[in-house]
């Protein structure tokens, strides 16, 4: 009995069961190995594949990148790795279970995402003068790792959004504002342009909560946030929830008079929602007070003075009876 016998049959078993497509192609492009994985995922049996021209096996065209790499392996002995990122599905191979999500937008079963390794190997061709190499092709199913990658990416996008978003109102939170404000300050200093800050606070909100309850309080907080957000004019404007019932808005490049006008527009936008507030000392409806400040950020100032001035203006608006705009002097 040949000593190679059991080893060879073990190797055959491995080739049969390995969770990987294994193909060997000789220098004439004839298939000399086609394992069970290839049968399952291509629908081409071993009888149909062996000794046949590899390219002619498929009714669909093979990816040009794949064919180039195959030619380089056979003619010049160059190995190649075709990553699924650059060569998504070079061969017409399909997953075993074609679930709904594996359907392409036109309703066809989507090809398996593949990672391919091509290794030139020496093999007996029976025609040594012909030159060239055989090529071992290993194909693995990268679909699940691509899906996992997509899922992780979408989770990380969600997390990134959550970190900068206020959970109740869905507008940006203070953390986002602080970062955006720092960048806007740098830009305003570079361009010698102005920044306007609007501090906005709901009037008699404690009384609102006390009278209508916390759930209703949450609802009108969302309503006010949504109303103010709708007033944003350009992509560089930032609107955020700054604290409990306090919001902040930053608008670059407004003249002081324009900023005051805009603050009036903000105030009116909430007033015209005509949300009842029976316990307000400022009228029958829910209102806001706005402190506005426009300035050219100084070279060495960190923006705190702008914030302080807008805050002082808001305080003054409250003192003057609420439901009004005060511009910092
Ligand atoms: N429903 C609700 N209430 C909140 C939230 N955050 C803060 N508040 C309430 O907002 C109220 C703020 O009260 P105050 O700071 O006294 O201000 P105010 O009653 O609006 O009075 P003025 O600002 O002076 O007009 C408090 O009763 C807080 O409990 C929230 O997320 N949801």
User: Which neighbouring-strand residues pair with 238?
Assistant: 250
Is the sign of the CA dihedral 224, 226, 229, 231 positive or negative?
negative
Cβ within 8 Å of residue 40, ≥6 positions away: 96
Distance from C-alpha of 133 to C-alpha of 73, rounded to nearest angstrom: 7
- Going along the chain from its start, the domains and CATH numbers come out as 4-151 (3.30.450.20), 165-327 (3.30.70.270)
User: What pLDDT is attached to residue 31?
Assistant: 96
Q: At what angle do helices 143-164 and 174-191 cross, to 10 degrees?
A: 80
Going across the sheet that includes 80-82, the strands are 31-34, 21-25, 134-141, 114-121, 80-82
Residue 166 CB less than 6 A away from ligand 1: no
Residue 260 CB less than 6 A away from ligand 1: no
Q: Divide the 329 residues of the chain into consecutive groups of 10 and give the mean pLDDT of each group.
A: 65 89 94 95 94 91 90 92 84 74 60 92 64 88 82 88 93 94 90 94 97 97 97 92 96 95 98 97 96 82 85 97 95
User: What pLDDT is attached to residue 103?
Assistant: 53
Residue 279 CB less than 6 A away from ligand 1: no
**Closest-lying ligand 1 atom to the alpha carbon of residue 210:** 27
Distance (angstroms) between ligand 1 centre and the Cα of 180 equals 25
Are 239 and 248 in contact by the 8 Å Cβ rule? The answer is yes
Distance from C-alpha of 87 to C-alpha of 65, rounded to nearest angstrom: 7
Closest protein CA for atom 14 of ligand 1: 206
Question: What does the chain come to in residues?
Answer: 329
Residue 202 CB less than 6 A away from ligand 1: yes
Instruction: Transcribe 61-111 into DSSP letters.
Output: PPPHHHHHHHHHHHHH---EEE-TTTSS--S----SS--GGGB-TTSPBPP
User: What pLDDT is attached to residue 2?
Assistant: 46
CA distances from 96 to 110, 111, 138 (A): 11, 11, 18
In terms of C-beta density within 10 A (0-12 exposed, 13-18 middle, 19 or more buried), how is residue 181 classed?
Answer: buried
User: What pLDDT is attached to residue 235?
Assistant: 87
Residue 320 CB less than 6 A away from ligand 1: no
Distance from C-alpha of 252 to C-alpha of 232, rounded to nearest angstrom: 12
Distance from C-alpha of 278 to C-alpha of 100, rounded to nearest angstrom: 54
**Closest-lying ligand 1 atom to the alpha carbon of residue 202:** 20
Distance from C-alpha of 68 to C-alpha of 85, rounded to nearest angstrom: 17
Task: Return the C-alpha torsion angle 187, 190, 193, 199, nearest 10.
Answer: 40
Q: Which residues carry out catalysis?
A: 245
In this structure, the number of other CB atoms found within 10 A of the CB of residue 201 comes to 22
Indicate whether this complex's ipTM tops 0.90. Answer: yes
User: What pLDDT is attached to residue 282?
Assistant: 94
Distance (angstroms) between ligand 1 centre and the Cα of 293 equals 23
Distance from C-alpha of 276 to C-alpha of 158, rounded to nearest angstrom: 35
């Amino acid at each position: 009995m040949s000593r190679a016998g059991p080893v060879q049959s073990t190797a055959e078993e491995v080739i049969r069961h390995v969770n990987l497509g294994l193909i060997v192609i000789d220098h004439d492009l004839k298939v000399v190995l086609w394992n069970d994985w290839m049968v399952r995922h291509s629908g081409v049996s071993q009888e149909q594949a062996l000794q046949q021209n590899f390219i002619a096996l498929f009714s669909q065209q093979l990816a040009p990148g794949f064919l180039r790499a195959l030619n380089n392996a056979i003619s010049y002995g160059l190995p190649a790795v075709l990553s699924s990122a650059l060569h998504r599905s070079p061969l017409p191979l399909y997953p075993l279970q074609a679930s709904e999500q594996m359907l392409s937008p036109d309703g066809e079963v989507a090809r398996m995402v593949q990672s391919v390794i091509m290794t030139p190997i020496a093999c007996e061709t029976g025609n040594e003068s012909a030159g060239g190499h055989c090529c071992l092709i290993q194909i693995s199913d990268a679909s699940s790792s691509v899906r996992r990658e997509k899922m992780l990416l979408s989770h990380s996008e969600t997390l990134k959004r959550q970190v900068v978003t206020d959970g109740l109102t869905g507008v940006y939170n203070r953390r986002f504002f602080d970062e955006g404000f720092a960048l806007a300050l740098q830009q305003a200093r570079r361009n010698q342009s102005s920044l306007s800050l609007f501090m906005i606070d709901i009037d008699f909100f404690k009384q609102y909560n006390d009278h209508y309850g916390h759930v209703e309080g949450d609802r009108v907080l969302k309503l006010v946030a949504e109303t103010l957000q709708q007033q944003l004019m350009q992509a560089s404007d930032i609107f955020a929830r700054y604290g409990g019932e306090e919001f902040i808005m930053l608008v670059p490049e407004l003249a002081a008079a324009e900023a005051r006008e805009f603050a009036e527009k903000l105030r009116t936008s909430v007033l015209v929602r005509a949300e009842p507030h029976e316990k307000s000392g400022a009228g029958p409806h829910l209102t806001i007070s706005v402190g506005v400040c426009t300035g050219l950020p100084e070279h060495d100032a960190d923006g705190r003075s702008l914030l302080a001035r807008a805050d002082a203006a808001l305080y003054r608006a409250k003192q003057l009876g609420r439901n009004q705009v005060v511009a910092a002097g």
